[in-house]
A and B are shown apart, each in its own frame.
Chain A
Amino acid sequence: MTDATAAHAVLHGVTRVYPGANPVHALGPIDLSITRGSFFSVVGPSGCGKSTLLDVLAGLSPPSAGRITFEGQPVNGTVPDGVGVVFQEDSSFPWLTVRDNVAFGLRRIGTDPAEIARRVDHAIGFMGLTDFAAAYPAQLSGGMRQRVCIARTLVLRPRLILLDEPFGALDQQTRLLMGDELLRLWRETDATVLLITHALDEAAMLSDRVGVMSARPGRFIDLLDTGWPRDRDSRIVSDPGFGAITARLWSSLRTESMKAIGARA
């Protein structure tokens, strides 16, 4: 499972302590190997360190201890080429239209304009934003803005895509459909996906593997292989295996979630 050729990103004993007058031990120690081309989801109680995990894995903040490698190269303080990030908060640029937002990264690396137009059109269509290509983020709903951010990252064709609760602002139906789109994209591009989510059904439906995190400081208390075929979609929610996976996720998570909100088990 963790053989070196198949591992796309690896964390060894990674912890993260936010320094300060009252240091916060937010994460770890984490040992994790993410298989190249796999769809890996992370679930965990609120405040357990999921976003922190994404930050250190992306190279946006340094780990306090431990080592991280991406494609065999150490990650330290800078984001490696080939990694794409979609943040939990809305990060669309308010001064740019949807189209210019999506083209932003490609323009910075000097991609040929015709190629930019082609990729941007495709990504905007893919995210269902065609009618809003000329709109500014202020004119969009929260869920649409999040889709702009997803499109902006996808056009760069990252080999490892890190998504932090990207569908948090969407209703359940749209969320399922976006999940299908994400699966389609994942199959088409052969990218490795790490998805952080608070929706257990979403994790169960989309992933090859789900990591369940403990309350802060977040560690993995369960790693669950779903065994889904590669060409799956949201219809697997009616598969008997789906209920079993969701149930196991919940039983792993229940006590941790109670700790996180300060309740007694």
Chain B
Amino acid sequence: MIRRREGLLDGALIVLVILIVWQGLYAYAGAVALTPPWQTVRYAIGLFGTPSFWGHLRGTLAAFGWSLLISAVLGIALGLWLGAFRFAGDVAEPMLTSLYTIPKVTLYPVILLLFGLGPSAKIAFGVIHGMIPVVLFTLGAVKTIRPVLLRTARAMRLSPMQTARHVLVPAVLPEIASGLRVGFSLCLLGVLIGEMFASQRGIGFLIINGINSHNVRLTTAVTLIVILFAVGANSALLMLDRRLHHSR
């Protein structure tokens, strides 16, 4: 109960800090750069009444959903597989870690060549951002699973499938949830950036479009919506994450 309130409190605190910084920036930079909070909230609410905004939102959510799904499925499978073969895992882990740290912007030309403009490129952007943390968290969890749990599975004569399903997966689940939480944020980031560079539709496109046409109200309002969504989803996932780690 206390933990749940903590999660909500964290979220509320982040929103408060954003509001203060925002007001400060507005006082400094003025109406050319961004609009004040209250006006933006009203405009943002108004956006939800326009059909074209819903079209952009649906486009982004669909691409985000797909990239998250692909990141999760491929990431968990790859993590479990690399973890099962120690050697492959030992080789792959440093490569993945360095891949994780290089700016993914450098890969965009390649992705564009492979997927062209449009939804699949956005999804691919999301996946290259979101999948690696899922792989790394899963791989780490498999490598650090307590050996005695696997010995218990052998002592009970479990088949490899039973061991995977009833011992390995539940043992690594909390870590996978943490990986998915990080992957969630990065997928969203990837999709939005993809839309900014390589799309005519979606929330990322709206932001870039607003900037290009000096529509400060639109840019600020859409950014606000994205932030609220990300903070809300992240606190919900953090709560789930803590619940899963709690029974340890």
Contacts and interface: CB of A to CB of B under 8 A. Distances in A.
Interface of A: 58, 60, 78-79, 81, 83-85, 87, 89-91, 93-96, 104-105, 108, 136, 138, 156
B62 interface: no
B154 interface: yes
Nearest to A158: B155
B52 interface: no
A89 B148 contact: yes
Interface string B120-164: 000000000000000000000000001011011011111000100
B156 A78 contact: no
B170 interface: yes
24 contacts: A78-B154, A79-B155, A81-B157, A87-B148, A87-B152, A89-B146, A90-B148, A91-B146, A91-B148, A91-B152, A93-B152, A93-B167, A93-B170, A93-B171, A94-B248, A95-B170, A95-B173, A104-B166, A108-B156, A108-B158, A108-B162, A108-B166, A138-B248, A156-B156
Chain B's interface: helix, strand, loop or mixed, by majority?
A: helix
B229 to A, nearest CB: 31
A181 to B, nearest CB: 21
A7 B148 CA distance: 29
B244 to A, nearest CB: 9
Which bracket fits the contact residues of B?
Answer: 10 to 19
B247 A85 contact: no
Contact of A136 (B170, B171, B247): B247
A58 B155 contact: yes
Interface in B188-238: none
A94 B145 CA distance: 12
Contacts of B154: 60, 78-79
A81 B158 CA distance: 11
A96 B247 CA distance: 9
B146 to A, nearest CB: 8
A81 to B, nearest CB: 7
Given A95-B173, A156-B156, A60 B151 contact: yes
Nearest to A77: B154
Given A78-B157, A84-B155, A108-B162, A95 B171 contact: yes
Which of B151, B155, B156 is the most central at the interface, judged by chain A CB atoms within 10 Å of its CB?
B155
B157 A79 contact: yes
A137 to B, nearest CB: 8
B13 to A, nearest CB: 29
A90 B152 CA distance: 10
Nearest to A96: B170
A60 B151 CA distance: 7
B81 to A, nearest CB: 22
